[in-house]
């Protein structure tokens, strides 16, 4: 639940920079003063007001019913929303185009629908599930107003009412400024971003200080969310401090998860932030603006795009202000959901993934991460759940399409270099109270920093470790569940790929796709690890030096760690096992046994690179740029 602020001061001297492997790059002095001096020259928006504004609803009134509030807005016969362009300065974002020049050979991926873990709360379901979903989501969405909601019809009406009472915090003076698509090294935080941070901070502080609200005075003639983006169609995710909703610009009854997948249908996703217990307004504002500014400024096809920041005014005296960001919605859900769903859009069982498909995914993720690092921002929570899937809108053939992967969820991201850090490479993470991110993806030096409280760590190298874990998990999932008829584990289930952050530290990982659960030390002087499997890895891992210019490897310790060394070994089936159980399968491509993939000439290089990404010394760990320039990645064609 940790988030990273925009800038973090490094106070450690050079003598404190020794890592668990006795090497870490030299720390530097913080440049926050140069940022503050610039900030003081920017026009400040006052967070206070001298007069009370007229309330949208009378301050002493509580709605007798939802219909009466809809009536006040003349919404009994609500017209369909009209999408209005958002406020983005020099927006060079374009939809993914089918540029075939980068692909000598087209390859397509099976289309899978999002699993229906969460029912659409506007649907007319049977009583049991519908009421449970109603109670659960109405409480999350509307808080104290939950008691006024009697059925799904009330819920829908209140959602429409809230959509009409939600406005953008952006305008002609407060615009999103996207950075370049190129790898030009310019930071994600520049003059335009810093000015937007300052202006939005003042605007949000002012809103939080008010007791009554006048829409005209606050937002002028600006159209509400209903007219800009539409109404809430479904809730697709809920965490302790956030809620993800799908917004449909067309006021229709069409199901989001219908069997007929319309790749051209444009939808939006809205992430609503919840304040934490005892969280000050300043911390809350910093948390939401950190995520919004980073995600809205990045401009790469493998990073999700945020297009607006919204404020929902209270719809009654016992309601509260709500803040959310608008993002493009990707119908392929996330990579985690994709892998635990064994059926494609045509309800065919998928138990085969080719190495080409996984290589395509890995290269896309690496490109997005490398772009972020080039522009001074680290993700700090890279995992399967935070990789979203967008199917190419113009390609769909027999349940297959091109797949564009996008890195999402920047709630824990860290800006390690701003425009004002002249001549500096990276600002380190310091004074960590507890690890940041998801347990199986956290590198060993981060646990050591927390345990000793005096070792700055590189957020870039933290991301590279997480990328190595993600790649290892992908190949492990393929070996166990997607190797064709001879998949050795049957269906992949949620408990075999679940978030292990709450598991017992003494457990070892033998029955799921993570090779180990934790890299935390149990005994620092003796270098004993809580997870026995990770301890074995440290002792038996491949140790090598890699020259990214000559592509030469110098092996100083050969590997003897079977979970990685045998990652591409496939047990041979007996002749008796080659039965006709799958006779009549509509597409044997998904089910046939394919030994040739497991004899791929690149497998040895894949294994060596996984070891190098999982180098326990962050100073010699492989970077994303080195990975992308490797012979492995150079040979990979990706979806475009």
Q: Which two tokens stand for residue 609?
A: 């690179």
Beta-strand runs (E) in 3-86: none
Q: Which two tokens stand for residue 545?
A: 């030096």
Burial of 124 by CB count in 10 Å (0-12 exposed, 13-18 middle, 19+ buried)? exposed
Query: Within its chain, how far is the Cα of 264 from the centroid?
Result: 23
Cα 466 to Cα 471: distance, rounded to the nearest angstrom: 9
For residue 251, pLDDT beyond 60: no
For residue 98, pLDDT beyond 50: no
For residue 91, pLDDT beyond 70: no
At residue 162, the pLDDT reads 87
Q: Report the percent of the chain where pLDDT is more than 90.
A: 46
Cα 438 to Cα 436: distance, rounded to the nearest angstrom: 7
At residue 13, the pLDDT reads 39
Cα 178 to Cα 192: distance, rounded to the nearest angstrom: 9
At residue 306, the pLDDT reads 96
Cα 579 to Cα 54: distance, rounded to the nearest angstrom: 76
For residue 361, pLDDT beyond 70: yes
Q: Write the CB contacts of 594 (distance below 8 Å, at least 6 apart in sequence).
A: 352, 354, 483, 484
Cα 199 to Cα 193: distance, rounded to the nearest angstrom: 10
- Cα end-to-end span (Å), the chain: 34
Beta-strand runs (E) in 439-566: 521-523, 528-529, 543-547, 552-557
At residue 421, the pLDDT reads 83
Q: Write the CB contacts of 238 (distance below 8 Å, at least 6 apart in sequence).
A: 118, 137, 140, 244
The residue among 304, 293, 340 whose CA lies nearest residue 192 is: 293
At residue 514, the pLDDT reads 94
Number of H helices, E strands in the chain: 18, 18
Q: What's the DSSP call for residue 236?
A: E
Least confident range from 48-52, 347-351, 476-480, 609-613: namely: 48-52
Tens digit of pLDDT for each residue in 519-568? 999 988 878 999 999 999 999 999 999 999 999 999 999 999 999 999 99
Look at 490 and 110; give whichever has higher pLDDT. Answer: 110
What is the SS3 assignment for 592? coil
What is the SS3 assignment for 550? coil
The answer to whether the CB of 230 falls within 8 A of the CB of 122 is no
Buried b (16+ CB within 10 A) or exposed e, 374-405: bbbbbbbbbbbbbbbbbbbbebbeebbbbbbb
H/E element holding 130? helix 127-142
Look at 20 and 332; give whichever has higher pLDDT. Answer: 332
Q: Which two tokens stand for residue 415?
A: 């800006």
At residue 456, the pLDDT reads 93
Query: Within its chain, how far is the Cα of 28 from the centroid?
Result: 30
Residues 360, 365, 368, CA angle at the centre, nearest 5°? 125
- Delimiting residues of CATH 1.10.510 domain(s) in the chain: 427-576+592-634
- Delimiting residues of CATH 3.30.200.20 domain(s) in the chain: 115-330
Domain 427-576+592-634 annotated CATH 1.10.510:
yes
For residue 590, pLDDT beyond 50: yes
For residue 399, pLDDT beyond 80: yes
Q: Report the percent of the chain where pLDDT is more than 70.
A: 64
The answer to whether the CB of 325 falls within 8 A of the CB of 448 is no
The answer to whether the CB of 414 falls within 8 A of the CB of 286 is no
Q: What's the DSSP call for residue 106?
A: -
For residue 176, pLDDT beyond 80: yes
Tens digit of pLDDT for each residue in 218-232? 998 899 999 999 888
H/E element holding 72? helix 66-72
Tens digit of pLDDT for each residue in 278-328? 899 999 999 999 999 999 999 999 999 999 999 999 887 778 899 999 998
Least confident range from 140-149, 196-205, 294-303, 307-316: namely: 140-149
**Phi and psi torsions of 290, nearest 5°:** -60, -50
Cα 329 to Cα 569: distance, rounded to the nearest angstrom: 38
H/E element holding 232? strand 231-239
Torsion over CA: 138, 144, 148, 150 (sign): positive
At residue 276, the pLDDT reads 86
Residue 407, strand partner residues: 303, 387
The total of other beta-carbon atoms located within 10 Å of residue 595's CB is 12
Burial of 580 by CB count in 10 Å (0-12 exposed, 13-18 middle, 19+ buried)? exposed
Which stretches within 438-458 are classed as H helix?
Answer: 444-452
Residue 246, strand partner residues: 234, 269
At residue 168, the pLDDT reads 96
Look at 203 and 146; give whichever has higher pLDDT. Answer: 203
At residue 8, the pLDDT reads 53
At residue 118, the pLDDT reads 34
Q: What is the mean pLDDT of residues 253-270?
A: 63
For residue 209, pLDDT beyond 60: yes
At residue 496, the pLDDT reads 56
The residue among 400, 252, 402, 229 whose CA lies nearest residue 328 is: 229
Look at 170 and 577; give whichever has higher pLDDT. Answer: 170
Mean pLDDT rounded to a whole number for the chain:
76
At residue 405, the pLDDT reads 97
Q: What's the DSSP call for residue 143?
A: G
At residue 247, the pLDDT reads 81
For residue 462, pLDDT beyond 90: yes
Q: Given pLDDT bands bounded at 50, 70 and 90, which one contains residue 143?
A: low
Q: What's the DSSP call for residue 77?
A: T
Query: Within its chain, how far is the Cα of 342 from the centroid?
Result: 22
Q: Which CATH architecture has domain 115-330?
A: 2-Layer Sandwich (3.30)
Look at 483 and 360; give whichever has higher pLDDT. Answer: 360
Q: What is the mean pLDDT of residues 511-524?
A: 88
In sequence order, what DSSP letters do the residues of 349-363 get, joined into one string? Answer: B--B--HHHHHHHHH
**Phi and psi torsions of 414, nearest 5°:** -135, 130
Q: What's the DSSP call for residue 89?
A: E
Q: What's the DSSP call for residue 44?
A: P
The residue among 302, 31, 358 whose CA lies nearest residue 189 is: 31
Q: Given pLDDT bands bounded at 50, 70 and 90, which one contains residue 84?
A: low
pTM score, whole prediction? 0.81
For residue 191, pLDDT beyond 70: yes
Cα 301 to Cα 99: distance, rounded to the nearest angstrom: 13
Side-chain-facing half-sphere of 606: CA atoms under 13 Å: 26
Cα 327 to Cα 247: distance, rounded to the nearest angstrom: 10
The answer to whether the CB of 268 falls within 8 A of the CB of 249 is yes
For residue 239, pLDDT beyond 90: no
Q: Which two tokens stand for residue 193?
A: 């971003």
The strand order across the sheet containing 242-248 reads 166-168, 306-312, 322-328, 268-273, 242-248, 231-239
Tens digit of pLDDT for each residue in 407-457? 999 999 999 999 988 666 799 999 888 999 999 999 999 999 998 887 899
Beta-strand runs (E) in 329-429: 377-378, 387-391, 400-401, 403-407, 414-415
The answer to whether the CB of 497 falls within 8 A of the CB of 421 is no
Cα 563 to Cα 19: distance, rounded to the nearest angstrom: 27
């Amino acid at each position: 639940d940790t988030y990273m602020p925009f800038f973090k001061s490094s106070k450690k001297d050079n003598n404190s920079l020794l890592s668990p492997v006795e090497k870490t790059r030299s720390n530097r002095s913080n440049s926050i003063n140069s940022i503050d001096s610039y900030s003081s020259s920017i026009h400040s928006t006052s967070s206070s007001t001298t007069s009370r504004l007229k309330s949208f609803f009378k301050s002493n009134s509580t709605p007798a019913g939802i219909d009466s509030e809809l009536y006040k807005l003349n919404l009994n016969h609500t017209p369909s929303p009209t999408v209005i362009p958002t406020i983005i300065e020099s927006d060079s974002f374009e939809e993914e185009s089918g540029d075939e020049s980068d692909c000598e050979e087209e390859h397509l991926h099976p289309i899978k629908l999002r699993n229906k873990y969460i029912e659409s709360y506007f649907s007319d379901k049977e009583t049991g599930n519908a009421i449970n979903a109603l109670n659960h989501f109405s409480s999350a969405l509307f808080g104290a107003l939950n008691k006024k909601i009697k059925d799904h019809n009330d819920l829908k009406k209140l959602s429409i009412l809230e959509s009409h009472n939600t406005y953008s915090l952006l305008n002609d003076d407060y615009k999103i400024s996207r950075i370049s698509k190129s790898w030009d090294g310019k930071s994600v935080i520049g003059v335009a971003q810093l000015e937007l941070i300052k202006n939005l901070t003042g605007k949000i502080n002012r809103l939080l200080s008010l007791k009554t609200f006048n829409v005209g005075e606050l937002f002028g003639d600006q159209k509400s969310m209903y007219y800009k983006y539409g109404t809430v169609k479904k809730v697709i995710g809920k965490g302790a401090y956030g809620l993800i909703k799908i917004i449909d610009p067309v006021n229709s009854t069409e199901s989001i998860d219908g069997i007929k997948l319309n790749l051209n249908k444009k939808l939006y996703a809205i992430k609503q932030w919840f304040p934490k217990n005892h969280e000050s307004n300043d911390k809350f504002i910093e948390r939401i603006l950190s995520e919004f500014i980073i995600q809205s400024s990045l401009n790469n096809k493998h990073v999700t795009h945020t297009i607006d920041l919204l404020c929902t005014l209270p719809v009654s005296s016992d309601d509260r202000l709500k803040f959310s960001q608008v993002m493009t919605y990707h119908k392929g859900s996330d990579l985690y959901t994709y892998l635990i769903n064994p059926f494609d859009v045509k309800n065919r069982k998928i138990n085969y993934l080719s190495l080409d498909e996984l290589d395509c995914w890995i290269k896309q993720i690496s490109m997005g991460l490398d772009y972020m690092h080039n522009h001074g921002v680290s993700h700090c929570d890279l995992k399967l759940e935070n990789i979203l899937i967008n199917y190419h809108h113009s390609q769909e053939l027999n349940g297959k399409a091109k797949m564009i992967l996008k890195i999402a969820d920047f709630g824990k991201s860290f800006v390690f270099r701003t425009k004002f850090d002249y001549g500096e490479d990276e600002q380190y993470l310091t004074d960590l109270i507890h690890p940041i991110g998801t347990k199986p993806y956290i590198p060993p030096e981060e646990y050591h920093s927390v345990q000793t409280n005096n070792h700055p760590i590189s957020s870039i190298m933290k991301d590279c470790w997480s990328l190595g874990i993600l790649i290892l998990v992908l190949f492990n999932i393929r070996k166990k569940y997607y190797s064709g008829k001879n998949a050795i584990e049957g269906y992949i289930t949620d408990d075999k790929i679940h978030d292990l952050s709450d598991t017992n530290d003494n457990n070892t990982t033998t029955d799921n796709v993570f090779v180990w659960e934790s890299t935390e030390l149990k005994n620092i002087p003796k270098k004993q690890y809580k997870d026995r499997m990770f301890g074995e890895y440290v002792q038996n891992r491949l140790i090598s030096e890699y020259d990214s210019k000559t592509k030469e490897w110098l092996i100083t310790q050969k590997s003897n760690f079977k979970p990685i060394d045998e990652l591409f070994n496939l047990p041979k089936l007996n002749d008796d096992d080659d039965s006709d159980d799958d006779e009549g399968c509509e597409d044997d491509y998904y089910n046939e046994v394919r030994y040739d993939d497991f004899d791929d000439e690149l497998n040895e290089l894949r294994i060596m690179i996984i070891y190098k990404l999982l180098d326990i010394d962050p100073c010699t760990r492989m970077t994303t740029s080195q990975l992308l320039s490797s012979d492995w990645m150079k040979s990979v064609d990706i979806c475009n």
